[in-house]
Amino acid sequence: METAIRTGTMQVTVLCLVAAGTLLALGAAGIPASPALLLFLLALSAGLYYTRPDASAGTVLGLDVDSLLSTLWLAPALAAFTVLLEPTASTEELRALGGIVGLAGMLNYFLRPIYLLGYSLVEAVQEWGRESPNR
């Protein structure tokens, strides 16, 4: 379960950072939020979904690259969801939204030890409950 927590939190962090980078790049390119941008992001997400790699990339620096690549299509979908929340955002607002999404991703990354501590505490309490005599 600890591995699932580590992998899951890393996936969420990477997805948030890629979505943030996408929004920041679009804002820096001078593209404001619009229905056309929303359709582009959804099409990009669908394209990445249908072209997910089948080959195994393995583990690099302790990161499960296979799981990251298989869920990468969610990053443009997250960016599209952000655009959907603020459909009239200017380029500056789009960059600010990208910064907020990136901040949420980094907050998730920095909270990983708290998630693991909570899991360890729950596991210890369950183990203690199994060892205690029935009353």
Question: pTM for the complete prediction?
Answer: 0.83
Lowest-pLDDT range of 49-58, 95-104, 119-128: 49-58
Residue-averaged pLDDT of the chain: 89
The Cα 91–Cα 75 span in angstroms is 19
Q: What CA dihedral angle connects 15, 21, 26 and 30, to 10 degrees?
A: 160
**Per-residue pLDDT at 80:** 96
**Per-residue pLDDT at 20:** 97
Cβ distance 58 to 65 under 8 Å? yes
The Cα 76–Cα 84 span in angstroms is 12
Cα angle 108, 42, 75 (rounded to 5 degrees) comes to: 20
Share of the chain above pLDDT 90, in %: 61
- Taking residues 108-127, what's their average pLDDT? 90
The Cα 60–Cα 129 span in angstroms is 38
Task: Write out pLDDT tens, residues 33-66.
Answer: 999 999 999 999 999 999 887 767 676 776 677 7
On the 0-12 / 13-18 / 19+ scale of CB atoms within 10 A, 122 is exposed
- Taking residues 89-97, what's their average pLDDT? 96
